[in-house]
Amino acid sequence: MAQDIDIRGFTWEDLESVTDLFNRIGGATGTEKELDSEVVSQNLSVPAVSPETNLRLAVNGTDIVGYHLLSSEPLIGRAVVAGGAIREFRNSGILTRLLRDSVERAKEAGARVVHFQTALDAHDDRRLLESEGFEKIKEFWQMRWEGSELPPLRLRPGFRLKSFELCKDEAMLTELQNTAFGENWGFSPNTVDQISARVRVKISPPEGVVFIMDGESAAAYNWTQRIQNAYGHVGFVAMTGVHPSYRGSGLGTAILVAGMEHLLSKGVDAVELEVDAENTPARELYLKLGYRRVHHSVWYELKIGQNLS
């Protein structure tokens, strides 16, 4: 069956079909997380995504039945692969072909490692990854908050909140994010062009980025996103960062609450985020605020140079 399926590159004429595919494979179809083609187009248009080169499609006749998207991060020597296939084709061998294709393209891009994230209970995906030489290296929790009250937002004297301003704060956000996460696992520094594109995506409006300012210096930030459709309205805490000079001063809790207050002011039904399972302080903070774990994922790594059988 896999021999009847072609693997080819993405073209922009595929956008509607790819949007449907992303939603189906991600389990978002018919839910509050379902994306429209405008958002998918904006995400694919972020600098360095380069979908014509990095998005590979598995095609059965005229139907797109699977994909792999390769994100190359040369500054840290890694490539991240995301993708899958619709249920009817998961056992067709196409996932193996897509994975091997992605690994070869990662090698050509000069990556030293390839990373792939999948659900803890996705046993078929995990068996495939392990059979191809990938090893489990990290676990993450996806957490959800559906409360009605938050603790009071407390800022020390001299600190203030500030919302992101387009055409003004792109460089400040880029510098703060790169500094706050520079030593975190899997973080690749962003460019101003990338940040500028991401704060213009429909689900990531600029006012959803909130700073804590110390005078004119950004000490912490919370980057929120929202999806609103016919099925509901959900918010996401995409990033929460504190400048290393301000760690230990309680700003992490304050900026998280500020971001969640913003989401609640927009009428979201729930808030979700992801956390490294080994990051005990953050995990415990989220539990204390009323988040609960709703999904458990694992990251796999392949060191480039290992032979694929």
Could you tell me if residue 11 is inside a domain? yes
Last residue of a domain, one of 51, 85, 111: 111
What local confidence, expressed as pLDDT, does residue 263 receive? 97
Q: State residue 291's pLDDT score.
A: 97
Let me know whether 106 and 155 are in one domain: no
Strands lying side by side in the sheet with 270-276: 6-9, 55-60, 63-73, 78-85, 113-119, 292-303, 135-145, 270-276, 232-242, 217-229, 209-214, 159-163
The pLDDT assigned to 2 comes to 54
Q: Is 179 part of a structural domain of the chain? A: yes
308 within some domain: no
Give the pLDDT of residue 307. Answer: 45
Greatest Cα pair distance in the chain? 66
Rg (CA), the chain: 20
The structure's pTM equals: 0.94
Overall number of domains in the chain: 2
* Domain end point (choices 111, 132, 155): 111
**Helices 94-108 and 123-131, axial angle in degrees (round to 10):** 50
Is residue 80 located within the same domain as residue 175?
Answer: no
In a domain, 196, yes or no: yes
152 and 100 in a single domain? The answer is: no
Q: Is residue 258 part of a domain?
A: yes
Instruction: List the one residue out of 125, 69, 81, 89 whose CA is nearest residue 2.
Output: 89
CATH number at residue 180: 3.40.630.30
Whether 78 and 158 map to the same domain: the answer is no
Structural domain span for residue 58: 2-111
Query: Whole-angstrom Cα distance, residue 22 to residue 40?
Result: 9
Question: pLDDT means per 10 residues in the chain (309 residues)?
Answer: 82 98 97 98 96 97 96 96 95 94 95 97 96 97 93 93 97 98 94 97 96 97 98 97 93 96 97 96 93 97 68
Do 157 and 77 sit in the same domain of this protein?
no
Is residue 226 one of the residues assigned to a domain? yes
Q: Which amino acid would we find at residue 91?
A: N
Residue 50 and residue 94 in one domain: yes
Q: Tell me the DSSP string of 24-93.
A: HHTT-TTSTTPPPHHHHHHHHTSTTT-HHHHEEEEEETTEEEEEEEEEEETTTTEEEEEEEE-GGGTTTT
Q: What is the 3-state secondary structure (H, E, C) of 90-132?
A: CCCCHHHHHHHHHHHHHHHCCCCEEEEEEECCCHHHHHHHHHC
190 and 243 together in one domain: yes
Residues 101 and 166 in one domain: no
